[in-house]
Amino acid sequence: MGDTTTASILDRCRALGFALAGVASAQRSNRVAELRAWLEAGRNGSMSWLEDHLELRIDPRALVPAAQSVICVADRYADGRPDRRDRSLAGRVARYARGADYHTALRRRLETLRDELRRTHPKHRFRACVDTAPILEREQAARAGLGAIGKHTLLIEPGVGSWLLLGEIVTTLALEPTTSDAALDVCGTCSRCIDACPTAAIEPWTVDASRCISYLTIERRLPIDPTLHAAIGDWIFGCDICQEVCPHCQPTRRSRAAKRHPDYAPVRTTLDALEVLGWNEDDWARAGRSGPLERATLAMFRRNALIVATNTCPPERRAELAARFRTVAESSEEDPMVRETARQSLSRLARPEPTAKDSAQSEES
């Protein structure tokens, strides 16, 4: 890169295929008190790494000494079109994980930009960050003008949605920040994400990760509280409900015209729950070869499959499913977490199917 102004960097970001780009001044987070309170309340669940390197996380100048600027980019991975749900025992995969691994797809282009900047400015430092580095990326992106943080805590590009994957370059190079209104409220009185969350994990601008379906199915390495099983519905890996109901995320002419990077073209939308229940290590490795699905272990996938199969099982297949689950529950070679989930699922299958009268009474109450 010859000319290295904010405008030239943003032009280069667009040429590299990023949907959005901006620049924020490197400064300490203004949400430190809220973050500490969230961690102290245990709302990070078992994600203990969120407590690690906290000082680096809350100030990019600690992550990169003498940092002056944060270059923020975003890839768009979906346009909000609803899923077709016409098959029982099918577990849905969150949209971000239906295509290529964003850690690789986004990082490759971000590192190209970083390397170009290093060659132009050899005396400056440039650190590329994609999800795994300790940085509050949504706050940085909001400061750079890429959007505003919604009540579900995701970054929203107004009128287009929160189907965004974020990356940053923290640098000692002083750049002109892009115009932003990080305090912009794009939600107003809307509470659709809060009302729609099946596990009541969302409160305005905060999420109890320990109850979030994405956390439960992707991060939790232990059995899931059986009182939350039914709420998981047909989500076998992740969850998009809070985005599916958001007014900004609805499929419109504008959102369909907004550029989605081809790397995220879906190669999978669902996984057959009974097939997953029969997976071995090789099957799991093949399924996760593209990257995102590797986050959950084989035992976690089998646990999730038991829950999804129970939730989506048609009445005529309950006996078949119970026999399958009983084999899993009684196998001494099975992972203890999977055995326990199989027993819990058998208990749920043994309950009488609700009748039309039961459903009517439930709605009246």
In 10 A of CB 289, how many CB atoms? 10
Residues 6+ apart with CB under 8 A from 332: none
Cα–Cα distance, 37 to 344 (Å, whole number): 34
DSSP one-letter string for 299-346 = HHHHHHHHHHHHHH--GGGHHHHHHHHHHHHH-TTS-HHHHHHHHHHH
Q: Is 131 a catalytic residue?
A: yes
Tens-level pLDDT at each residue, the chain (365 residues): 556 799 999 999 999 999 999 999 999 999 999 999 999 999 999 898 888 888 889 999 999 999 999 999 999 999 888 998 878 899 999 999 999 899 999 999 999 999 999 999 999 999 999 987 899 999 999 999 999 999 999 999 998 999 999 999 999 999 999 976 656 789 999 999 999 999 999 999 999 999 999 999 999 999 999 999 999 999 999 999 999 999 999 988 888 888 889 999 998 899 999 999 999 999 998 887 767 898 999 999 999 999 999 999 999 999 999 999 999 999 999 999 999 999 999 999 988 765 444 444 444 44
**DSSP secondary-structure letter at 102?**
H
- Residue in 131, 225, 272, 335 annotated catalytic: 131
The domain spans of the chain are 6-80+99-171, 192-353
At residue 167, the 3 state secondary structure works out as strand
In 10 A of CB 211, how many CB atoms? 19
Distance from chain centroid for Cα 208: 14
Cα–Cα distance, 46 to 49 (Å, whole number): 9
Cα–Cα distance, 320 to 275 (Å, whole number): 14
Within 13 Å of residue 115, how many CA atoms lie on the same side as its CB?
Answer: 6
In 10 A of CB 92, how many CB atoms? 22
Q: Count helices and strands (H / E) in the chain.
A: 17, 11
Q: Pairing between strand 90-93 and 270-272?
A: antiparallel
